[in-house]
Chains A and B, each alone.
Chain A
Amino acid sequence: MRHNYGKIRVVLYGAGTFLVLLSLWQIAAMTSNSEIGFPTPVAVIGRFFHMLSNKVGSYTIWGHTLWSLSRVVIGYLLACVLGVVLGLTMGWFPYVKALFKPVFDLLRPIAPLAWIPLAILWFGIGEKYKYFLIFIAAFVPFTLNSYAGAVRVDRQLIGAARMLGASHSQVFFRIVVPSAVPSIFSGAQVALSNAWMTMLAAEMVRSSEGIGWLIIAGQGINDMTQMIAGMLAIGIVGFLLANGMRLLERRCLVWNNQGK
């Protein structure tokens, strides 16, 4: 009974602030007479639903989202494979660490977005440059977290395996890799939001489709409604991605969550 009451209160408070803020926005937009023409929330939501079935540029909002997602997925998966392999091996094999860690540490502080101009010079303005950027953005957290996971393995487990006669590589595959998985997953979460943001920047700098294009095209024709509707789409998809990842993590790491 009490529990129910608490839930209702949560919904009421949340909805209340949203309503207050949205109506403030609505009133401000309706009464302002600036030349920019700031849209009302009603107009933005109306446009959003309009774009679901009508084309903007050459696609509907679904098409643009799919374009953006395809870019993120390709760069992200590439980064996942290479980053996890590099991170884990750096964490376990001292030779690999001595060889790659200095170069990795040298390149790591450069913000992914700072690669944009060089990436365009290297790969042109097509798809490859976007894959490359998203790869860089996701690669760093994947590598760092797999490395941290491999370094922080419980020494007792390793000792036990050694005593039972496991070889160096057996210890790596049977103990180091599985116990690094939770750390890798938290890296995957960071990598996903990095990749999503970098995709947006890459599309804004140069593209002819995708959600980033939708927003920047709105700026080009001074259409604030389209820009905010695009931001809404970005927010919704980003939210779904982050929560999907969390769900996957919970599924895969059932063994880790016991007792929490």
Chain B
Amino acid sequence: MKKKSKLKFQIISIISLIAFFAIWQLLTDVYRVIPSTMLPSPVKVLQTIGMKWSVKKPDGSTLPQHILASLQVSGLGFCLGAVIGVPLGVIMAWWEKADLSLKPVFDFVRTIPPIAWIPIMIVLLGIGVVAKASIVFLSAFIPCVINSYTGIKATKTVHIWVAQTFGGSKTRTLFKVAIPTALPYIFTGLKVSLNSSWGALVAAEMLGSASGLGYMIQMGRLLSRADLIVVGMIVIGIIGTILSAFLDSLEKIVVKGEVR
């Protein structure tokens, strides 16, 4: 009985998805309710994906080149953000003096959304890789710090006492007790970071860039090529999903013995 109803809902889901694409196709290519300059049909989107794979027109680079440019920038910014952000959060949570002196400044800086830094970075660093990577860095850095801070603070006092009773030094307790406790939090932070940095990258590329997926969809708007925009959006969505799936599987390998 239960299996049967599950099957029923799966069929409804599939029909709903098919209907979504069918209505989209009907509205655009078949009945032309929506002009193709506003929304391309799904078929047209697929054609454009195939075409952009090797053709540089009309925005200067092929799709793989745009993807590579975006990945390069976000990879650089994200890794820097994680490498600096996670240890900073740990240090702030573990040593009281660091907490007292750095937390207020950090709390102040984090109220400013990374997007707000874009114009300043463009003025200071131009529209190259460095400016975009700094925006990605900022948006990855903040969640990394917050989550590793919370993670370390979540360590049970009893566990710390036990470590101290057995003669663990402050640093040893940090590495043997606090950091393992904080790992799930740190991974949550990394995931949030990845999402927000991927989004910020798109904005950075739209506001000042000459390559990348954000640039491609911005050019699509200027040239009134809606198909280019939709292709860009789809690729952005797919890559974002792949990246978070990658982090998910990494988390499963690294984080052990999660207490529930």
Contact = CB atoms under 8 A, between A and B. Distances in A.
Interface string A119-141: 01110000000000000000000
Contacts, number: 159
B113 A200 contact: yes
A235 B108 contact: yes
B140 to A, nearest CB: 14
B46 to A, nearest CB: 15
Contacts of B100: 9-10, 13-14
Nearest to B239: A109
A99 interface: yes
A149 to B, nearest CB: 18
Interface residues of B, number: 58
Interface in B1-46: 5, 9-10, 12-14, 16-17, 20, 37-39
Nearest to A37: B123
Interface stretch (A110-118, A152-160, A171-179): A110-118
A235 B112 contact: yes
Interface in A24-54: 36, 38
Interface string B89-123: 00000000100111111001001111111111011
B112 A238 contact: yes
A94 interface: yes
Given A17-B105, A118-B226, A239-B111, 13 more contacts: A98-B9, A98-B12, A102-B13, A111-B202, A111-B237, A111-B240, A113-B115, A117-B220, A197-B114, A216-B119, A219-B120, A222-B123, A236-B111
Interface of A: 9-10, 13-14, 16-18, 21, 36, 38, 94-95, 97-103, 106, 109-118, 120-122, 193, 196-197, 200-201, 204-205, 215-216, 218-219, 222, 224, 227-228, 230-231, 234-236, 238-239, 242
